[in-house]
Structures are given as C-alpha cells and as structure tokens.
C-alpha cells in the first residue's frame, strides 16, 4: 500500500539531489498509472493527496512544469 510518507521520502531524495528530475518524474508516472490500473493500493483518505502530488511530479522534468525546491516543499506540506 502506498502511503503519503512514501511520496514524501521520494521528494526528499530529489531535494537532497539523490535522484534527478527525470527520475522522480518517471517514478511518479509509473506509480500514478499503477494506482489507476489497480496494481497498487492507496489508503482512501490519502488517495487524492497522493495522486495530486504524483500528477505534479510526473511532469517535473519538463521545463514548463519544472518544480523548484519551494514547490517540492509545498508538496510535502500538502502530503503531511
């Protein structure tokens, strides 16, 4: 089951430069569609917050949708 904390951990990896924008975007894309296809489960109370965050993250490697550190911290705050 995917939790809010799983997404926060991944965002923190990006903030610490452990993964690239492309890597977090690919991870978010894969996870978003796994959830949509029923291959991954999300707590019903967290579903909207998680899928909204993934929706923003999966385009983070494209210039018009790039997320800076402040954007990533806002995502963490929304997930907490």
Interval 25-77: pLDDT, tens: 999 999 999 999 999 999 889 999 999 999 999 998 888 888 999 999 999 99
- pLDDT, position 80: 92
pTM score over 0.85: yes
- pLDDT, position 44: 87
Confidence at 8, pLDDT banded by 50, 70, 90: very high
Please check whether residue 38 is in contact with residue 45, taking contact to mean a CB–CB distance below 8 angstroms.
Answer: no
DSSP 8-state class, residue 19: S
CA angle in degrees (0–180, nearest 5) for 21-62-19: 5
Answer whether residue 9 shows pLDDT above 90. yes
């Amino acid at each position: 089951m995917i939790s809010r904390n799983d997404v926060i951990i991944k965002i923190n990896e990006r903030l610490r430069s452990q993964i690239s924008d492309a890597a977090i975007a690919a991870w978010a894309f894969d996870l978003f569609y796994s959830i949509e296809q029923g291959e991954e489960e999300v707590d019903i109370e967290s579903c909207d917050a998680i899928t909204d965050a993934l929706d923003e993250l999966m385009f983070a490697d494209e210039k018009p949708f790039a997320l800076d550190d402040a954007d990533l911290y806002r995502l963490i705050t929304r997930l907490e």
